[in-house]
């Protein structure tokens, strides 16, 4: 039996308590304030509420504090603060995946039944599935356009009068660029919200909000967490639009776990070291591939041959990203598979932005759900491979890619 009242730090007197009570109430580390250098992981689902008025005020959003972890969690809040600073945003909202972040961001800008969304033709395949198989059946009109071409963007905005426009800074896997500042001018003039998926560029290279976008979404699974061990997503923007996304996350429930938020935050600490190195290696890979006889074409914004090289120079802080795509001279799935099967160091795997160099065949993975006709229109060819440069020694990566191509 616990007879003593709780101490102010909520440590009950367990001297006469039974083993089950001790198992529950000991080891809680509640006590005099500790100030750890690294933000701790707070896995607790619930927070003690002494005053019912306080509890009500926190739940109503009138007072800062924690009550229940789906509504807010200190470790997740630490990640939010970091993302907000990185993106130059008013606030950020953290989700359980990049796709959950994209979904919430679209709903937060009134992409709903009867509304029109203009979306870039160059999008990650699962984003296209979200638009076509979830939002369109709910009554959203989705109009695709080539948003890398500002003239086409101007025409489609005038014609369609969308509530929102959605694009990727650097597209997956074709590595085409959208001129975010130019597009933002157009969306502002047409009172449409601009949502940008900045996963490939990261806030180290492009900060869409500073260029006029309304929401910057990111799959934090990739560069931000950086180590291939956590799925997550985030959306950053003005305070009011984030408040709407937070409400959505609380009721829909696609939130991040404290442990995943902690891993992402730890990854972000070295983002400024990893990204420049990955960019330098990607440029070296692109230059090597451009000279290789088994390669027909290389897509990399850092190459003079990239049609938007000048835009990349202006928009990407003097670097060109860690992603390279290339087309094999033998444009077949078999040839692509032969290259993947001969890798000895680089890893054939479906992700990007990790410390490991990763290769992926878009036709059989990221763009699998897209129809062959749509893939062809986008330029996603059967013999295309995508490389995500890691942080290994550059010479080792180049040697491995070369030997795999030579042997294939």
Ligand X SMILES: Cc1ncc(COP(=O)(O)O)c(C=O)c1O
Which residues ranging from 216 to 245 are in contact with ligand X (CB under 6 A)?
A: 219, 221, 231, 233
98 is a contact residue toward ligand X (CB under 6 A): yes
Nearest to 329 by CA among 403, 396, 406: 406
Complex with ligand X: residue 174 or 221, whichever CB lies closer: 221
Contact with ligand X (CB under 6 A) among 120, 199, 246, 281: 199
Site string for ligand X, 108-137 (x = CB under 6 A): ----------------x-------------
Task: For the chain, give the secondary structure using H, E and C.
Answer: CCCCCCCCCCCCCCCCCCHHHHHHHCCCCCCCCCCCCCCCCCCCCECCCCCHHHHHHHHCCCCCCCCECCCCCHHHHHHHHHHHHHHCCCEEEEECCHHHHHHHHHHHCCCCCCCEEEEECCCCHHHHHHHHHHHHHHCCEEEEECCCCHHHHHHHHHHHCCCEEEEECECCCCCCECCHHHHHHHHHHCCCEEEEECCCCHHHHCCHHHHCCCEEEECCCCCCCCCCCCCCEEEEECHHHHHHHHHHHHHHCCECCHHHHHHHHHHHCCHHHHHHHHHHHHHHHHHHHHHCCCEEEEECCCCCCCCCHHHHHHHCCCCCCCEEEEEECCCCHHHHHHHHHCCCCCEECCCCCCCCCEEECHHHCCCCCCCHHHHHHHCCCCCEEEEECCCCCHHHHHHHHHHHHHHC
* Residue number of the CB atom closest to ligand X: 98
Q: Report in angstroms how near the CB of residue 260 gets to ligand X at its nearest.
A: 11
Site string for ligand X, 51-70 (x = CB under 6 A): --------------------
262 is a contact residue toward ligand X (CB under 6 A): no
Which residues ranging from 276 to 335 are in contact with ligand X (CB under 6 A)?
A: none
Complex with ligand X: residue 258 or 321, whichever CB lies closer: 321
CA distance 276 to 282: 10
Complex with ligand X: residue 197 or 394, whichever CB lies closer: 197
**Which one of 39-47, 66-74, 97-105, 258-266 is the stretch in contact with ligand X (CB under 6 A)?**
97-105
97 is a contact residue toward ligand X (CB under 6 A): yes
Complex with ligand X: residue 192 or 231, whichever CB lies closer: 231
Complex with ligand X: residue 190 or 375, whichever CB lies closer: 375
Which residues ranging from 341 to 380 are in contact with ligand X (CB under 6 A)?
A: none
Complex with ligand X: residue 44 or 364, whichever CB lies closer: 364
Residues that bind ligand X (rule: CB under 6 A) add up to a total of: 13
**Which one of 14-22, 29-37, 58-66, 94-102 is the stretch in contact with ligand X (CB under 6 A)?**
94-102
Contact with ligand X (CB under 6 A) among 82, 172, 225, 264: 172
CA distance 327 to 173: 11
**Which one of 92-100, 143-151, 310-318, 339-347 is the stretch in contact with ligand X (CB under 6 A)?**
92-100
Complex with ligand X: residue 73 or 172, whichever CB lies closer: 172
169 is a contact residue toward ligand X (CB under 6 A): no
Q: Report in angstroms how near the CB of residue 219 gets to ligand X at its nearest.
A: 3
Contact with ligand X (CB under 6 A) among 87, 168, 179, 327: 168
Nearest to 163 by CA among 237, 97, 106: 106
**Phi and psi (nearest 5°) for 348?**
-80, 105
99 is a contact residue toward ligand X (CB under 6 A): yes
Residues with catalytic roles:
70, 124, 197, 222
Q: Report in angstroms how near the CB of residue 354 gets to ligand X at its nearest.
A: 12
Contact with ligand X (CB under 6 A) among 197, 260, 354, 400: 197
Return residues touching ligand X (CB under 6 A).
Answer: 97-99, 124, 168, 172, 197, 199-200, 219, 221, 231, 233
């Amino acid at each position: 039996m616990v007879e003593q009242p709780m101490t102010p730090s909520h440590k009950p007197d367990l001297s006469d308590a039974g083993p089950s009570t001790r198992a529950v109430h000991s080891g809680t580390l509640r006590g005099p304030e500790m100030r750890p250098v690294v933000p701790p992981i707070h896995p607790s689902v619930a927070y003690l509420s002494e005053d019912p008025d306080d509890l009500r005020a926190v739940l109503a959003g009138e007072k800062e504090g924690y009550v229940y972890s789906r509504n807010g969690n200190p470790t997740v809040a630490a990640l939010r603060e970091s993302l907000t600073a990185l993106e130059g945003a008013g606030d950020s909202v953290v989700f359980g995946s990049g796709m959950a972040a994209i979904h919430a961001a679209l709903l937060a800008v009134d992409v709903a039944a009867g509304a029109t969304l203009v979306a870039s033709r160059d999008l990650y395949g699962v984003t296209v599935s979200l638009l076509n198989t979830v939002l369109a059946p709910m009554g959203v009109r989705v109009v695709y356009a080539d948003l890398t071409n500002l003239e086409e963007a101007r025409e489609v905005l005038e014609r369609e009068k969308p509530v929102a426009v959605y694009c990727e800074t650097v597209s997956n896997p074709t590595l085409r660029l959208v001129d975010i500042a130019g597009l933002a001018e157009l969306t502002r003039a047409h009172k449409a919200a601009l949502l940008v998926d900045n996963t490939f560029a990261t806030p180290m290279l492009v900060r869409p909000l500073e260029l006029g976008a309304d929401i910057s979404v990111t799959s934090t699974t990739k560069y931000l967490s950086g180590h291939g061990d956590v799925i997550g997503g985030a959306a950053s923007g003005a305070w009011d639009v984030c408040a709407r996304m937070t409400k959505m996350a609380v009721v829909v429930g696609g939130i991040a776990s404290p442990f995943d938020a902690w891993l992402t935050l730890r990854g972000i600490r070295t983002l400024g070291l990893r990204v420049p190195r990955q960019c330098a290696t990607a440029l070296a890979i692109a230059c090597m591939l451009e000279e290789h006889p088994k390669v027909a074409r290389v897509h990399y914004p850092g190459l003079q041959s990239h049609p938007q090289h000048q835009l990349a120079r202006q928009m990407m802080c003097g670097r060109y990203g860690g992603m390279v795509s290339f087309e094999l001279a033998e444009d077949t799935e078999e040839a692509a598979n032969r290259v993947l099967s001969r890798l000895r160091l680089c890893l054939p795997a479906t992700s990007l932005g990790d410390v490991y160099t990763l290769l992926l065949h878009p036709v059989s993975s990221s763009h699998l759900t897209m129809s062959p006709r749509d893939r062809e229109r986008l330029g996603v060819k059967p013999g295309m491979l995508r490389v995500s440069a890691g942080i290994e020694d550059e010479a080792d990566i180049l040697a491995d890619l070369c030997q795999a191509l030579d042997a294939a």
